[in-house]
Amino acid sequence: MSVKVEVIEGGVPHNKIMIAGLVSTLVCIYLTYLNAYTNTEMFSFFGGLAVVAALIWGSHTIKVLCSYGIGTGVPSAGMIAFGSGTIAMLLATKYGMMAPIVALVLAAIIGYILGYVSNNILNMKIPAMVQALTEMAVVGALTVMGFAALISGGFTFAGLTTSTASFMGLPITSYANSFIGGGLIAVAFLLGAIAIQHPFNACLGPGWKQDRMLMLTAECGFLSMIVAAVMSFALISAGSALISLIIAIIGWAYTYSQYFEMSKRDAAAWLDSKPIPDVEGH
Amino acid sequence: MSAVAAKPTAGGAMNPTAMAVGVVMLIVILGACWYVSPTLGLTALIGIIIGGVLIGFGTHFVPVGGAPAAMGQAPGIATGVAMLAAGAGLAGLFGGAWAAEQGMVIAVVTGGIGGGMMMAITCMMVNFVYVFGMGIPAASGKVLNDPITGDSQAEYKSQGTEGHGLPFVSFVGGVIGGILGGAGGTLIYLELLSLYEATFPTLMSATTAQIMPVAVAVAGMFAVAMFLVNAVLTAYNITGTIEGPHDPKFKRWPRAIVASAVASALCGFVAILIVAM
């Protein structure tokens, strides 16, 4: 039997964050589909916004789960989220336009079964376990899909495994120069896994405040988005990648300064120490 | 029960009903796999399940100390199960992947040796830090005598701690765990790689040489993901810390075998569906 160690005092209820996170993630991922309609790659940055939205939802789910003291450390939750999520995401990319929905359903099934396995077979008996693992698998799947859309401009299996390069004027299909074939998916995997587990790991304790943790999550998300936007220069046009990069940097600067403000607000006493003054007279 | 007195989560008890449900789930997934891909897919899935079970079982050997070990108050390596298992298993997986061309047996053995080496180096350096950096001897808190060397432990154990450092049996356990984890991870990778090498050319209408980057990346990504799922499930089974094969928590391994088999079968089935549908 387990006892809940921390309680949520005030703040937005978890279900509200879950629904808001899910809807905004799906909408943002689908907005990258404008690329296909307008035949540009300008809308790839919506993938990065989807990543940030999914991470905010996911880090709050980790807070709900890890409040019970699972005894394995907070990072393990991020690892299982992305482990199960990536598996679902890779299969879902085969379904073209339906990919985000398929990823959602498939990840939920995988997460539910893993939740049952850990709660019953492994005898964890944590009330929030099944729901939390289900949610985290979905977050993992949608985050990797958001990174895929940000870096390569699409989320279909064909788009993620091939790219067209020009060789002496003739278009040739390249498989190595792609999101999956080039191994960029591994970087996306760990960028997301670190960003999802860090905020609660850093903010937990008696002084935990919901808005401060979620702001840190957004900051981590935009920081990951900066790295992913830099990687996207390899696969999409430079102008589109630049748009993603600028949005990521603006988002990061804003969330970082906000997080800094909140940390000052929650600190017991904030003393702005000046440089050591020059003492005159000796 | 107060939050302080409550032991985190799982006890040692088995849940027979859930175990039976797990076995049924395993059979259902195997049946579904036989339905969608009777020969190629089913062979791959059985290999994946064996690999997953090796990872789940091997992780129980690794001496995990967590935060108490960092303060010298419990034996083991001072980090979490998921991190250690991922470190050892992925080191083995990379080693095995290099040898993938040499055939199944050599690659799996190479993967095992890679994981074992990684854990041996880690355990060695951990003891260096404990003995020469923190000035504490290695002593187990769970047994009176080291099961392998027979050395007495109690005299070296500080009062108020559960032991500290890395006794010889924990070192050996760590190496065994690394070998099993590395071999299991490599086995999953090889099974998926051979499946994708056989099916991707027709699926994507390209030559084998062209799709190799994609096959390697997808197989590697699935192997890493399955490795992490199995490692975290095992971490949940031993709830944080374990000293090695002599720890009473080690007796919980049957639960982890069933859990790893179900989880690997599920994830492996999804990985097979990518080419079977």
pLDDT in tens, A159-211: 788 776 666 666 777 777 888 888 889 899 989 999 998 999 888 877 888 88
**Of A186, A224, A220, which Cα lies nearest the Cα of A200?**
A220
Q: Do A72 and B232 touch (CB under 8 A)?
A: yes
**A87 contacts chain B (CB < 8 A):** yes
Question: Pick the residue with more confidence: B6 or A95?
Answer: A95
Specify whether the CB–CB gap between B97 and B189 falls below 8 A. Answer: yes
Q: By residue range, what is the domain housing residue A242?
A: 14-265
User: If you ran DSSP here, which 8-state letter would residue B130 be given?
Assistant: I
> E strands of chain A, at which residues?
163-167, 170-174
Check: pTM over 0.90? Answer yes or no: no
Kind and range of the H or E run holding A184 = helix A184-203
How close B202 gets to chain A, by Cα (Å)? 14
> How does pLDDT run across B170-207, given as a tens digit for each residue?
999 999 999 999 999 999 999 999 999 888 888 877 88
**Of A59, A215, A214, which Cα lies nearest the Cα of A132?**
A59
Contacts with A118 from chain B: Cβ below 8 Å: 233, 236, 259
**B213 contacts chain A (CB < 8 A):** yes
Specify whether the CB–CB gap between B94 and B76 falls below 8 A. Answer: no
Of A94, A121, A175, Cβ closest to residue B19: A121
Q: Do A161 and B25 touch (CB under 8 A)?
A: no
> How does pLDDT run across B135-169, given as a tens digit for each residue?
888 888 888 888 888 888 888 888 888 888 888 99
How close A204 gets to chain B, by Cα (Å)? 15
3-class DSSP state for residue B154?
A: helix
How close A181 gets to chain B, by Cα (Å)? 4
Low-confidence ranges of chain A (pLDDT < 70): 1-10, 164-170, 279-282
- What is the domain count for chain A? 1
Q: What's the mean per-residue pLDDT of chain B?
A: 86
What's the pLDDT score for residue A52? 94
3-state helix/strand/coil string of B61-105? CCCECHHHHHCCCCCCECCCHHHHHHHHHHHHHHHHHHCHHHCHH
Search chain A and give the residue with CA nearest B11: A123
Say if B219 falls within a structural domain: yes
- What is the pLDDT averaged over residues B250-277? 90
pLDDT at position B12 over 70: no
Say if A255 falls within a structural domain: yes
Q: Do A181 and B267 touch (CB under 8 A)?
A: no
ipTM exceeds 0.90, yes or no: no
- What is the pLDDT averaged over residues B231-252? 85
Say if B14 falls within a structural domain: no
- Give the C-alpha separation, A73 to A83, whole Å: 16
Search chain B and give the residue with CA nearest A66: B8
Kind and range of the H or E run holding B139 = strand B139-140
pLDDT at position B89 over 80: no
Contacts with B203 from chain A: Cβ below 8 Å: none
What's the pLDDT score for residue A167? 66
Q: Which residues pair with B64 in a beta bridge?
A: B77, B242
Q: Do A123 and B11 touch (CB under 8 A)?
A: yes
Say if B7 falls within a structural domain: no
Say if B2 falls within a structural domain: no
Sign of the C-alpha dihedral, residues B5, B7, B9, B11? negative
Which residue type is seen at A21? G
Say if A271 falls within a structural domain: no
Say if B46 falls within a structural domain: yes
Say if A218 falls within a structural domain: yes
Say if B45 falls within a structural domain: yes
- What is the domain count for chain B? 1
Say if B51 falls within a structural domain: yes
**A108 contacts chain B (CB < 8 A):** no
Say if A96 falls within a structural domain: yes
> How does pLDDT run across B111-125, given as a tens digit for each residue?
999 999 999 999 999
How close A223 gets to chain B, by Cα (Å)? 23
Share of chain B above pLDDT 70, in %: 95
What's the pLDDT score for residue A169? 67
Q: By residue range, what is the domain housing residue B162?
A: 40-276
pLDDT at position B1 over 80: no
